[in-house]
A and B are shown apart, each in its own frame.
Chain A
């Protein structure tokens, strides 16, 4: 008896829907085992990790606050991933968006004009796009792998931010801490839900989800990107420009990540600091995959990922577990998703070993004379 993976004649849609759920379930099981192995009561740990963080209105606000940047980044990334444009540098583009937006805020620090915030948002999007333009250019002109270039630029962006907040942009009245001046009120996003930290940036994230859905399913360029990803040769033959696909994929990701960066500094942070993101850019990659590269899926996946973030913080306080457990869960979730995705294109077949002639009483070979 052997178990074999057999290609399906056509991809299974049911498996496509079930796979993220199966992956989430498997991650929970791993969590269960992990908590037990660490000597904690697994049910209590579950409660602390998954239930407690969202049990209050403030908690719900935090959930949406963290889901916002994840949604933004993931929608942008998914546009590219569908076209096989692998933007891995969203974290760097987010940082650049924060730098550009923060630059505008600091430049107009003494202004009370209501135009400051919109200007910051535009600047942030442009900053992210500019940072994503580098891998796009190098890929289209020099055939350089965009995964590696965009990733290298994450490190460059982080060092640039560090340079700025330690040096020219450091708050002179900040007791020498590496942080910029606190932005004044016109440069901050207004609150959305009283009693929580949720701000209007979340609306931007929802708008991005809607825009992503419209773009992917209704627009010509979105269609072309999907074709380019599914059948590059056919796309080329149909005249869909591969160059434009790469540029669009990268710039979409960069713009969205840049927006997420501005949201962070104009929202919960209120200033520029050496670190403006707890790894949202990388978590968004996972969100994009778990959400099946579809805006609606991304919406739910970002809520799940946000819960994992909050759970990690909650576990740190309530269970004395390290917050690094969040990264562990995130990676495990992606692994399980990739494993269960297999069943979309392949199915399990249990093969019985070939029967011996004596057992069936019939010879498999044609008998002479017949």
Chain B
């Protein structure tokens, strides 16, 4: 029983970077902007968080730095796509490639450095309760933050007026503009928010999940997060479910070895990516559902004059 609780905790921990990145990207896409640069922003967030955490010996400052770095990179993307009206797909790809290169460059001095990362909570008494102890009180602080983020985003998007405006901008920017809402400014904020969340996801990886820095350490999680948003048909609770599902698949590598399953490690490593493909194909199959749930203006540039 305890083993199951342990597994669940590990699954949540493994899915958390996806939760951060995918929820942020969900908000961005809800406003109509397709930002494919999640991988780049996560890596930049990771390297910034690690560098600051190593230099200041304060992991929380690192987390803040990671968020800022992700937001800063997304600002470049926002300027190019929202003000300069460049193609969002190509710009997002450029952002990813640039982020990968930039993080590799900046992270070189930090490759073999060890830091004191953020450790899972361990409240004496509560955490030791059988079954629920670890499950409720034994998570990493950032995992609790991800729960909060989910609640906040769900509430913001569906229960507040500004959230409604964001969704309106995503569905029909022309109408929103006609009513008088500042479409471009709202999209800027949505992109920056998405960037900060991706940076947070990267920061979690580098400061909490595995407190180290390796070039390309996100290993494609940014892209999986993008697939997750589609898989979740742009609904926050489904993002959460999907993220933990993938967290579980990622864990399968270690669990399979523990269970004595004879499979080469590379096959197990492939599983998250293969799972992403399968899930994406199954969900996208229903084109009607996708079209109904996807923000109608997703990926299309908005020009106020037209």
Contacts and interface: CB of A to CB of B under 8 A. Distances in A.
Nearest to A338: B86
B76 A138 contact: no
Interface of B: 36, 76, 80, 83-87, 89-91, 93-95, 97-102, 104-105, 108, 215, 219-220, 223-224, 226-227, 230, 264, 266-267, 269-270, 273-274, 276-277, 280-282, 284-285, 287, 290, 303, 305-306
User: Which secondary structure characterizes the binding site on chain A?
Assistant: helix
User: Which secondary structure characterizes the binding site on chain B?
Assistant: helix
Interface stretch (A124-132, A153-161, A208-216, A242-250): A153-161
Contact of B276 (A7, A148, A160): A148
A285 B86 contact: no
A196 B264 CA distance: 40
A153 B98 CA distance: 21
A148 B97 CA distance: 15
Contacts of A7: 303, 305-306
Interface of A: 5-7, 86, 88, 134, 138, 142-145, 147-149, 151-153, 155-156, 159-160, 162-163, 166-167, 282, 285-286, 289, 322, 324-332, 334-335, 338-339, 341-342, 345-346
* Centre residue among B93, B95, B280 by max chain A CB count within 10 A: B93
28 contacts: A142-B284, A147-B36, A147-B89, A148-B227, A148-B230, A148-B280, A149-B280, A151-B220, A153-B273, A153-B277, A155-B273, A156-B270, A156-B273, A159-B270, A167-B264, A322-B108, A324-B101, A324-B104, A328-B105, A331-B94, A331-B98, A331-B99, A331-B100, A335-B76, A335-B95, A338-B80, A338-B90, A339-B86
A149 B102 CA distance: 25
A163 B76 CA distance: 39
A338 B87 CA distance: 8
A327 B267 contact: no
Contacts of A147: 36, 89
A162 B282 contact: no
A134 B281 CA distance: 11
Contacts of A151: 220, 223
B80 A335 contact: yes
B306 A138 contact: no
A166 B265 CA distance: 11
Given A7-B305, A152-B220, A155-B270, A286 B97 contact: yes
Nearest to B290: A143
Nearest to A328: B101
Contact of A144 (B84, B99, B281): B281
